[in-house]
Amino acid sequence: MGGTNQSFSSPPPASAQVPSSFRSSNQVRSHVNNNEIHFHDDASGFKVVIPESDYKDEFTHWRKSQNTDLTLHGKDGSGGAAMVHFHAYPGAKGTLEVAISVEKSDLHSLPLGPSMLDLDALVGH
């Protein structure tokens, strides 16, 4: 247990309208550590690390846009590709709640196809 601003996100209640992938998720612990945001699934021993500036920019944009879902890509505790998913939903007491899940990402190991290359060209990659 390290870092600052530590918080915990429990899986959503059974009555919440969320995708099934969030129902099977464990409690996620998050905190700031060395200019990074760490999201831990302590039950499975898995961690996702996101640069603090990336998190701040993306999360702020997500909150302003009022979209339901946000996925951030980062690294796991071993430096492999990983993702943290956020899903906003209305809580039982009329509040805005969020479900969080973390997982490994195998997408970074795939070669780029024509559609990805076309989108890369839009931003000069």
Q: Which amino acid is located at 73 in the chain?
A: H
CA gap 116, 102 in Å, rounded: 24
Going from N- to C-terminal start, the domains of the chain cover: 4-122
Return the pLDDT at 85: 92
Return the pLDDT at 61: 92
Contact at 8 Å (CB) between 112 and 92?
Answer: no
Question: What pTM value is reported for the model?
Answer: 0.80
Return the pLDDT at 125: 67
Return the pLDDT at 2: 66
Return the pLDDT at 40: 94
Beta bridge partners of 32: 4, 37
Closest CA to 84 of 68, 67, 72: 72
Q: For each successive 10 residues of the chain (125 residues), what is the average pLDDT?
A: 75 80 82 94 93 94 86 90 91 87 80 84 82
Beta strands, E only, the chain: 4-9, 28-33, 36-41, 46-51, 69-76, 81-90, 96-104
